[in-house]
Amino acid sequence: MKGFALAAAWVWAWSGSMAAATPVTFDKDVLPILQKNCQSCHRPGEIAPMPFLSYQDVRPYAKAIKAAVLTRKMPPWFADQSYGHWSNAPTLTSAEVQTLVEWADDGAAEGDPRDKPAPVAWPEGWTIRPDLIVRMPKPFHVPAKGTVELTTVVLPTGLTKDTWVTSIEVRPGNARVVHHVAVSFVPHDPAVNYGEPETPVVLRDANGDQIGPRVAAENFSALEAVFLPGSAPMDFRSYNAGKLIPAGYDILLQIHYTADGEETEDQTQVGFTIAKEPPAKRFVTLAPAAPRDEQSFRIPAGDPSWETSTEVEFKQNAEIVWFAPHMHLRGKDMTYTLELPNGEKQILLRVPKYDFNWQLGYNAERPVEARKGAKLVAVAHFDNSANNKFNPNPNKDVFWGDQTWEEMMVAWFGVLVDRSADPRKVVRYSRRQNAVPRG
């Protein structure tokens, strides 16, 4: 990273001498870059705190933009470039980085409005065009302070027959307090109370630690889609694939609300596109997780690199197309490796500096073939030391739990299989014992 910054500075010094002839301006040079790489998040209603639409919006951030792109903090992306090719990786080139740097250094001029590209027509609301929308029928009340336990709500689909959906988009009613939403398809239970949010009671002490037996966390293997800050809709159309909502199933949302200082309400909705013909392939979301009992999952206070892992074995041929590593504030890194029966190993994704604030999904440019007998192994490390700036408390052991100050290790990934395949028979969850904690 340092080498890159130096190189960029050098090129700038050289091109700086020509700056008088062709000054870099906002209208001509900068705005097109922001439209292509930044406005997806930096616009009103999206996750970035400030919009980057107009010169007035952007001018105060010229220096901050320079710093953010030189360090590659923005646009956010965490995959080690040595492994894998990703269709959703940001495309900011070194030349574009230079343009932004030059602009900031040369006084951040506005330029000639006639050079300005037309504004991008960003979609209002939905990114997909949903054929079916399920919505919480009434608002959930989110308090100003305190812990809201993982809330579940069951919603009817209105579908009367087996239905293949080809994309799923979660739209929180109030993105400030919706930390994540997990979507599952569940068989209809006649006793269900549609639309009534249920929040379990978990006993916690003043620090937020659970008192008494730990409450079992979510059943990840049933999840179909997740909304996390920064994540795009899950879209299977480019793979000619879909997910099946069997007739008579309901939609279960598990929503993690985080209070943000102001009392407010949320009414989350989920949209689906529906296939007219059954697609060729089925997209199956799998969620291997590290063993989570207290003996196996205990991150010692102060440990800078505690290791755990999880693995699955393929029971049939499949194509791996998507990854989404999930940990909390102490998550440090995660690596997914495909191990072939002949002992060959191939690293598919390495996230060397995991950042809890960015729960990104990584879409493989080309599907990775996983044959029957191959294993997918995910290894993760956690930093429970004082050197981790996100660590709320390096002085205590940390266990598995839903809240961000508790921990998790879930190595989500997605595969394509034949449409007729049974999604429960794609892999075997053969849990590897935890490695011995290293000090």
Site for ligand HEC in 71-100 (CB under 6 A): 74-76, 92
C-beta of 81 vs 357, nearer to ligand HEC? 357
Distance (Å, whole) CA 164 – CA 346: 33
Binding flag, residue 47, ligand HEC (CB under 6 A): yes
CA gap 386, 381 in Å, rounded: 15
Between CA 209 and CA 398 the distance in angstroms is 9
Tell me how far apart the alpha carbons of residues 349 and 322 are, in angstroms, rounded to a whole number.
Answer: 10
Residue 317 CB, shortest distance to ligand HEC, in Å, is: 34
Site membership for ligand HEC, residue 120 (CB under 6 A): no
Q: Which of 25, 35, 40, 335 binds ligand HEC (CB under 6 A)?
A: 40
Do 136 and 251 form a contact (C-beta atoms < 8 A)? no
Nearest to 200 by CA among 269, 264, 155, 153: 153
Residue 370 near residue 318, CB atoms below 8 Å: yes
Q: What is the largest CA-CA distance in the chain?
A: 75
**Binder of ligand HEC out of 11, 68, 109, 215 (CB under 6 A):** 68
Q: How far apart are CA 58 and CA 8, in angstroms?
A: 22
Total residues contacting ligand HEC by CB under 6 A comes to: 19
With contacts defined by CB under 6 A, name the span among 34-42, 126-134, 248-256, 292-300 that binds ligand HEC: 34-42
Cα-Cα-Cα-Cα dihedral of 69, 74, 79, 82, to 10°? Answer: -10
Candidate ranges 46-54, 262-270, 298-306, 344-352; the one touching ligand HEC (CB under 6 A): 46-54
Q: What b/e readout covers 150-162, taking b as 16+ CB neighbours within 10 angstroms?
A: bbbbbbebebeee
**128-167 positions binding ligand HEC, by CB under 6 A:** none
Tell me the CB-side half-sphere exposure of residue 335, using CA atoms within 13 A.
Answer: 15
* 255 binds ligand HEC per the rule CB under 6 A: no
Which of 3, 49, 213, 343 contacts ligand HEC by CB under 6 A?
A: 49
C-beta atoms surrounding 435 within 10 Å: 12
Nearer to ligand HEC, 104 or 398 (CB): 104
**Of 11-19, 35-43, 188-196, 328-336, which segment contacts ligand HEC by CB under 6 A?**
35-43
Measured in whole angstroms, how far is the alpha carbon of residue 29 from the centre of its chain? 30
Query: Which one of 69-77, 196-204, 290-298, 336-344 is the stretch in contact with ligand HEC (CB under 6 A)?
Result: 69-77
What is the footprint of ligand HEC within residues 188-217 (CB under 6 A)? Answer: none
Q: Which is nearer to ligand HEC, 66 or 375 (CB)?
A: 66
Which residue number, 32 or 230, has a Cβ lying nearer to ligand HEC? 230
Please report how close the Cβ of residue 91 comes to ligand HEC at its closest, in angstroms: 10
**Least CB distance to ligand HEC at residue 46 (A):** 7
| Separation of alpha carbons 351 and 330, rounded Å | 14
State both tokens at 298.
């205990």
Residues that bind ligand HEC (CB under 6 A): 37-38, 40-42, 47-49, 61, 64-65, 68-69, 74-76, 92, 230, 357
